Structure 1
Amino acid sequence: ARTEQLDINDTVPLSRTPRVEGGGALQELVGKHSFTYLELCRLMMVLSDNIATNLLITVLGMENINARAEKLGMDEMELNRMMMDFNALAEGRDNHITAMSLARLYKHIFECRDRDAYGREMWNILGRQQFRDILPFYWGEGIRFHHKTGSLDRVEHDGGVIETFRGHFCFILLMSDIDNDRGKELGAQVGRIMKEFVEEALP
C-alpha cells in the first residue's frame, strides 16, 4: 500500500479461500462477505483469524511475502503453507521462523510507528492483540504489549514489544513439543521474570 501497489481499502471476497478451523471469527460467517485488506490485517493480528490470514496469503502470494521478509533481514523466515493446511504438513511443507527474525520484524514495525499512517496502523494493530495469557499475563492491563501470539497442537508462541517507563523491550518466546497448557503456564512465568527484570534489575 505504501508503494501504491494496492489500496488497503480494496475488498477481497471471503470465497477466495477455503474455510478452515482454528482461531478467528470469519469461520462463523455464512453468506457472501467481502473485507478490505485493512480489515483482514486487523482480524489476522488481533483475533488470530486463520481465514483472514489465508485470504491475505492468497491475494499477496507466498513468494511476495517471503521476498518481503528477506528484504527486511528475516533470513530464517519461510512461508510454505496456508494456516491449518495439514495436507501440506503431511507432505513435509511447513512454515519456519526464528526468534531473531521475529525480533527484526518487530524492530521494523517499531521504527515505522511514527513514519506515516501505515506505520501507525501496524503498530496499533499489534497493541490491540486480544490474547494476553502468555508473556503479558502478569503485567496487568495497564501495560501495552504490542505483540502476536501463535498456537498449534504442542506449540505456543508469543512475542512483541513492551512499552514501560524504563524503556521499550522486545521479548520473543517460541515453544514447541510441549503440552499447550504447560506452555502457556511457563510462558506466563517467563513474562513475570521479564517484568521483575525490567522493574527491579534495571537502574
Structure 2
Amino acid sequence: MALFVAPATADPRKTDLKQLTDIVQPLVDDAAAHGVRVSVGLTDLSRPNGQSTILGSLASYNPASVIKLSLLATLMRQVDRGLISLDAPATVSPYMVVGGSGTIQDEQMPFNTTVRELARRMVVVSDNTATNVLLYYVGIPTVQKLLDDLGLKTMKFNRQMFPGDLISAPTNVLDAADTLALLKAIHSGRLLSHKSTDQIVDWMLHQEVDTKFGAVLDGKPIAHKTGETGNVTHDVGYFLVPEHETAVVVLTEVTTTTSFDEAQRIGNPIVQNIGLAVYNHLDKLDHR
C-alpha cells in the first residue's frame, strides 16, 4: 500500500491550526520559563495550501541528526533523476567509521552493502557512518543546491557527522521554518516522485529511536526523524492521522546545562509532551 497521501479537496472536519496553537503555546511558554528554548512548526498537509505556523523561537539550532533529512531528500532526487541507484553497491572502509549513533560501526570491515541500506540505516538507527558515506556519494554542493532550490536560507549541511579535528567547515545549522519547508516539499509530490516520497516515509515510520515522540506515540502512525547532541534534542516528521495529516517540527535547546545527559533528561519530556498533545488533538478530530 502506498504511503503517499494526496491532499484532500475538502474536509468538513479540517485541521484548525488555531486550536493546535492554543494547545501547544502554553507548553512552549512553560519550557521557556524553565530555561528551554523551543520552536514548534506545524503544517496541515491534508488540504491544498494547508495552513502553517511557527511557535516559539525563530532562531537557529544545532540540528544534530535532523540535518540528515536534507541529505536524504537530495539522495532521492538524484535517484529520481537516474544519477544514483539505491541498489548500487557501496563499501564502507575502516577509516570511514565514526562514533555516535548507528550499527555499521559494529560490522566487520570492510563492510559491503548498498546505497539503499546506507539510507535506511541513516534514518532508522540514525547511523552516522552511513550518513558520511552517503554524503561522499551525493556531495555537499548537491545538498546545498536542493536547499537553494527550495529557497531555504538558514538550513546548511556544511560538514560530516562526528567531524575530525582537522575539519574546519562551519557547523551544520537549521531552524524550524526551514525544517518545516523541507518536510512540506518532500510530502508535496513536486520535489520527488511518489515512489521516492513513499520510501522516505516508510523509513521514517520504522525509526527505532524512541526517546522523544516514540516514547509516547509508539505504534501510532507517525513517521519521524530525531536528533540529539550537546544540549539540543529534536523530533520532526509526519503525523499521519487519516484526513488530518500534519507535518510537525519540535526543536529544543536546554540553556541551563552543558551536560548531554542532563539536557536529554530535561528536554526529552518537553518534546514528548508537545508531540503527544498534537497527536491527541488530531486523533480526536479523526473520531468526530
- What interval of TM-score do these two structures reach, taking the shorter chain for normalisation? 0.7 to 0.9
Gaps of 5+ in 1: none
Partner of 2:197: 119
**Deviation at residue 71 of structure 1 after TM alignment:** 1.2
| Contact 1:156 1:176 survives alignment (8 Å) | yes
Seen in structure 2, the aligned counterparts of structure 1 residues 175 and 87 have a Cα distance that, compared at 3 Å, is farther
* Cα separation, 2, equivalents of 1:118 and 1:137: 27
Does residue 194 (structure 1) correspond to residue 278 (structure 2)? The answer is: yes
State the match for 2:227 in structure 1.
Answer: 150
Match of residue 7, structure 1, among 73, 76, 85: 85
Structure 2: 5+ residue runs without aligned partners?
1-78, 256-262
Q: 1:31 maps to which residue?
A: 109
Instruction: State the 4+ residue runs in structure 1 displaced beyond 6 angstroms.
Output: none
Instruction: Name the structure 1 match of 2:172.
Output: 95
TM-score with structure 1 length normalisation?
A: 0.88
* Partner SS for 2:215: coil
Map of 2:124 onto structure 1: 46
Give the distance between the partners of 1:6 and 1:166, measured in 2 at CA: 34
Q: Is 1:156–1:175's contact at 8 Å kept on the other side of the alignment?
A: yes
- Aligned with 2:208: secondary structure? coil
| Distance of 1:175 and 1:86 partners within structure 2 | 26
Cα distance, 1:35–1:172 mapped onto 2, change above 3 Å:
same
SS of the residue corresponding to residue 133 of structure 2 reads helix
Distance 1:17 1:74 in 2: 33
- Whichever of the two has the greater Rg, that structure is 2
Task: State the distance in 1 between where 2:173 and 2:88 align.
Answer: 30
RMSD of the alignment, in Å? 2.5
Distance (whole Å) between structure 1 residues aligned to residue 95 and residue 196 of structure 2? 25
Q: Structure 2: how far apart are the matches of 1:191 and 1:112?
A: 25
Whether contact under 8 Å (2:92, 2:109) holds in the other structure is no
Q: What percent of counterpart residues are identical?
A: 21
- 1:174 matched to which residue of 2? 251
Contact persistence 1:137–1:191 (CA under 8 A): no
Structure with the larger RCO, 1 or 2 (CA within 8 Å, 6+ apart): 2
Distance 1:125 1:112 in 2: 17
SS at match of 1:124: helix
TM-score computed with the length of structure 2 as normaliser? 0.63
More divergent stretch after superposition (185-194 vs 146-155): 185-194
Which of 57, 66, 83 is equivalent to 2:144? 66
- 1:171 Cα shift? 1.0
1:88/1:94 contact within 8 Å kept:
no
**Map of 1:82 onto structure 2:** 160
- Deviation of 1:160 after TM superposition, in Å, equals 0.5
Match of 2:17 in 1: none
How far residue 200 of structure 1 moved from its aligned partner, in angstroms, is: 4.8
Is 2:261 aligned against 1:184?
no
Q: Distance in 2 between matches of 1:140 and 1:146?
A: 11
Please give the secondary structure, in 1, of the residue aligned with 2:250: strand
CA, structure 1 residues 150+17, in 2 after alignment: closer, same or farther (shift >3 Å)?
farther
Residue 140 of structure 1: how far off its partner (Å): 4.0
Aligned letter for 1:32? Answer: P
Partner of residue 11, structure 2: none
1:54–1:83 CA contact under 8 A, matched in 2: yes
Paired amino acid for 2:84: L
Deviation at 1:187, TM superposition (A): 1.0
Cα displacement (A) at 1:115:
4.0
